[in-house]
Amino acid sequence: MADLNENLTTDKTNAIILDIFKPHELSEAERIDLFVKYDHMLNTGSPRFEDVFVILYNYFNENQFSPYFIEKYFDTYWLLFVKIGWRLLPRLQSKYTVDLVARTLPYAAAQYIDVKKEFSEILILYSDEDAKLLYTQIKQKLLSLDYPISFNEYGKNITISQLIKKINESGVEKDLSRFGMFADIQKAFFPDIPDDYEAAKKDALRRTMEFIEMMYFFAKDSDVGVFKGTYFDKINNQIGVKMSKEVKAELGAKVLAEYFSGEEESEDLIEGVGGSFNEKPFLAELPKHKTDFAGWITNAATLRSLILWLGSFSDKAQARRELSKNLETALGADSLTNNDLVLAIAHLNEFLAKNSYPGDDFMHFDELSGKFKFGK
């Protein structure tokens, strides 16, 4: 696809680094190196997630997302395609969102990706009308697929079409843990959990239930507005803020859209896969903006980069702690004498709360000194 290829980096050094991400037969040493490079990308933002995603999307798309190639690279390149694709999901153009969600939903759930939460955060960026269109397009593509839900010995026995047929036969959604194929799906997703690992078993149970709930959502003729509203209500409970239906609509369709696609430059970004991918890793850029932090941190591209960086942590509380530590280090303890910067950090805290990263404020007012200070 030309619009993807045009946005690959032209830097020769980076191109050499990217070679390992071009699907090909791997020796055991190369396989290890592939995941070493992926871990390095998680920690440093280099190479860019966007560049790797472009390479992987092009490969699987050119091969028509054939089950043969998915199975061939199921635990290497397809695995990375799923992980990176869902990481970039908020920034993809809708046509790529449709492709990614429809084709990778079970595989994402099996990789401990919170598919319901991630998809909910996508839907609230759209008006109800556009969200319904996106839902319909994903549903149509999903219903046309006949992939197995996993390519291990358990998953090959359950295809997407079989699962949807079973859901349609089962009537309304009730206790998902009693769903007829539940145990088989959980075994297909998480086949290697020892019986005495209770925490892991509970996590696998929850994620399997959320996957089946998402399959119900797409198999039935669901109300997208209700689905969005449920997610808003969950946020309300987390941060203790009550929102009317009108405010929910305003927040979903306009306020969050402003952060993720509202600036003129958004047409040049991955909103997306056809964008220019000119965003820079948040952590690498932060120290460069001590003097213009207030303007930089409110930029949509910066906030997208921040959300991607925060998403690299498995624990959201840890993500906030790391952000707090890096803010204090980059800006300096004396920086909070600047009123604009104080307001910018307050707005940042509000933005994170709206995007499911609530927690202790990054600063407090010290009455003895009469100044703001970092920390609680």
Domain segments of the chain as ranges: 2-239, 280-374
User: Using an 8 Å Cβ cutoff, are 88 and 220 in contact?
Assistant: no
User: Which segments within the chain are labelled E, that is strand?
Assistant: 363-366, 371-374
Q: Take residue 355 and report the two structure tokens written for it.
A: 């995007």
Q: Express each pLDDT in 58-103 by its tens digit.
A: 999 999 999 999 999 999 999 999 999 999 988 888 889 999 999 9
At residue 48, what is the residue type? Answer: R
Q: Express each pLDDT in 269-293 by its tens digit.
A: 344 333 333 345 788 888 888 888 8
Neighbours of 85 (CB within 10 A): 25
Q: Express each pLDDT in 112-171 by its tens digit.
A: 898 988 898 888 777 788 889 999 999 999 989 989 999 999 999 899 988 988 888 876
Q: Take residue 281 and report the two structure tokens written for it.
A: 């890793």
Q: What is the percentage of the chain residues whose pLDDT exceeds 90?
A: 29
The C-alpha atoms of residue 139 and residue 186 are separated, in whole angstroms, by 22
The C-alpha atoms of residue 311 and residue 309 are separated, in whole angstroms, by 5
Q: What is the pTM of this model?
A: 0.64
From the list 327, 354, 150, 134, the residue with the least C-alpha distance to 252 is 354
Neighbours of 34 (CB within 10 A): 17
pLDDT of residue 6: 43
Section 18-28 average pLDDT: 93
pLDDT of residue 232: 63
User: Using an 8 Å Cβ cutoff, are 324 and 306 in contact?
Assistant: no
The DSSP call for residue 177 is: G
Neighbours of 160 (CB within 10 A): 22
Element (H, E) at 230: helix 224-239
Question: Poorest-confidence range of 110-114, 117-121, 195-199, 320-324?
Answer: 195-199
Given a cut of 90, is residue 313 above it in pLDDT?
A: no
The C-alpha atoms of residue 28 and residue 34 are separated, in whole angstroms, by 10
pLDDT of residue 192: 84
The β-bridge partners of 374 are 363
